Amino acid sequence: MYWEPAVELAEADTLRALQTERLNTTLAAARRAPHYAQALRNAAPARLERPEDLGSIPFTTKDDLRSSFPYGFLAVDRRDTVRLHSSSGTTGNPTVVFHTAADLDRWTDLLARCMYMTGVRREDVFQNLMSYGLFTGGLGFHYGAERIGALTIPIGPGNSQRQLWFMRQFETSVLHILPNYALRLAGLIAESGIDCRRELRLRIAFLGAEPHTEQMRRLVEETLGLRAYNSYGLSEMCGPGVAFECTEQRGMHVWEDAFYPEIIDPETLEPAAEGEVGELVLTTLSREAMPLLRYRTRDLTRFLPGPCPCGRTHRRIDRITGRSDDMLIINGVNIFPMQIEQVLLRIPGLGANYLVVVRTEGHMDRLDISVEVAPSAFGGTLEELEALQRRVAEALRSEIVVTPTVHLVEAGSLPTTEGKAQRVRDERPRQGG
């Protein structure tokens, strides 16, 4: 059940001692990078006695990474690095992250730990539908699966017919796929009249790289006939493998031997109250090339209380509800796109693809939400469609307070992407530029 039982089941005290030791090693290593040599000159104590002492050290932000581009965070000789990865640039310019051979080795082990935890074994056939290349989702899982010994198909995204052909031909049992692509693929499989449970051998899917709701997971599980697990990571830390769900499917274990997690109130920058949602802050504990101290991920989540029945002692975080910077403020009301998704997926007759557009009209913000209608519902009468439209608008209004204009559109008519879903288009003129 456990890839590294001694680490995964470590007693809390053991884990804290390990974290303290690794934090001190990390601090020393970080001082060799130009950025931290400067930033830590007056700030850091010589030695941390316990993990919480980290609170005296300044945060690191994405802007710091950008302004020190490209080598300001490098803590080793450039010749000791063997690979670079880059974030997908969902927001702003990309940032670059370097790895030594040892960094890659540890990352691979983390991914093997994650996949093994959900039941992946050497008998499995793993089809990786994430893009390869600079994006970390492809190569990260790839090496993890190979380390377990699973037969790995590095197919990448797109071309659904070909994906299906491979699934059938090689009896694929495990998928790694973007949630929005999983739903499209499920739709296609349903249309082709394929009975997933009888004709395919799928058991497990890893969904990650973009926010998605619990309903979205259940939908993927039901349509593809498998168990889906949430996978969280970011290229600044390594990529996937930072936090991962176990078979309990109740929150993601953050691997605390590799990352020290904090959750802060993004306004006050103080630790969030016990169990409150805040911004996840991560410190690398075993990275050579590019140690990062108190990195503000901008991802919003909370620690889940209590021990996990699986026996692992590493704390769990809740599903990411969004990024602190993708919150929309519409006529003064704060809205997260995930709230909209939650409402839409609850209403029968709607498809899973939607697009949120925010515009300015006069001095007011306007919210337009286009959502695809399931093919069955689109065949209905005009009255039925109008009734559905009113239900959607009403359900949204009661959740997000703002009344949107709802457009029901035909399945397959909204733009899709091979990468992360782009669900929000903010067309308001920017303040100050």
Residues near ligand ADP (CB under 6 A) are 87-90, 135, 208-211, 230-235, 297, 299, 320, 323
**CB 283 within 8 Å of CB 256:** no
Instruction: Identify what 261 binds: Zn ion, ligand ADP, none; CB under 5 to 8 Å per kind.
Output: none
Nearer to ligand ADP, 59 or 378 (CB): 59
Instruction: Identify what 210 binds: ligand ADP, Zn ion, none; CB under 5 to 8 Å per kind.
Output: ligand ADP
Nearer to ligand ADP, 255 or 404 (CB): 255
What is the nearest approach in angstroms of ligand ADP to the Cβ of residue 88? Answer: 4
**CB 87 within 8 Å of CB 235:** yes
What is the nearest approach in angstroms of ligand ADP to the Cβ of residue 97? Answer: 9
Instruction: Identify what 246 binds: Zn ion, ligand ADP, none; CB under 5 to 8 Å per kind.
Output: Zn ion
40 lies in the binding site for Zn ion (CB under 5 A): no
Instruction: Identify what 235 binds: Zn ion, ligand ADP, none; CB under 5 to 8 Å per kind.
Output: ligand ADP
What is the nearest approach in angstroms of Zn ion to the Cβ of residue 299? Answer: 20
Q: Which amino acid is at 94?
A: P
CA gap 192, 425 in Å, rounded: 32
Q: Which amino acid is at 163?
A: Q
Among 310, 335, 352, 373, which residue sits at the site for Zn ion (rule: CB under 5 A)? 310
Nearer to ligand ADP, 200 or 220 (CB): 220
Instruction: Identify what 232 binds: Zn ion, ligand ADP, none; CB under 5 to 8 Å per kind.
Output: ligand ADP
CA gap 293, 314 in Å, rounded: 20
What is the nearest approach in angstroms of Zn ion to the Cβ of residue 279? Answer: 23
What is the nearest approach in angstroms of ligand ADP to the Cβ of residue 138? Answer: 11
Report residue 193 as tokens. Answer: 């009249």
400 lies in the binding site for Zn ion (CB under 5 A): no
CA gap 187, 196 in Å, rounded: 11
183 lies in the binding site for Zn ion (CB under 5 A): no
What is the nearest approach in angstroms of Zn ion to the Cβ of residue 316? Answer: 7
Instruction: Identify what 89 binds: Zn ion, ligand ADP, none; CB under 5 to 8 Å per kind.
Output: ligand ADP
Nearer to ligand ADP, 51 or 208 (CB): 208
Q: In what order do the strands lie in the sheet with 364-373?
A: 405-410, 364-373, 350-361, 424-426
Count of CB atoms situated within 10 Å of the CB of 358: 20
Nearer to ligand ADP, 167 or 317 (CB): 317
Q: 171-192 b/e with 16+ CB inside 10 Å = b?
A: ebbbbbbbbbbbbbbbbebeee
Nearer to ligand ADP, 234 or 246 (CB): 234
Closest C-alpha among 364, 365, 373, 379 to residue 414: 373
Instruction: Identify what 414 binds: Zn ion, ligand ADP, none; CB under 5 to 8 Å per kind.
Output: none
CA gap 93, 38 in Å, rounded: 23
Instruction: Identify what 220 binds: Zn ion, ligand ADP, none; CB under 5 to 8 Å per kind.
Output: none
308 lies in the binding site for Zn ion (CB under 5 A): yes
Instruction: Identify what 310 binds: Zn ion, ligand ADP, none; CB under 5 to 8 Å per kind.
Output: Zn ion
Q: Which stretch binds Zn ion (CB under 5 A): 147-155, 239-247, 275-283, 390-398?
A: 239-247
CA gap 248, 310 in Å, rounded: 7
Residues in the site for Zn ion, rule: CB under 5 A? 246, 248, 308, 310, 312
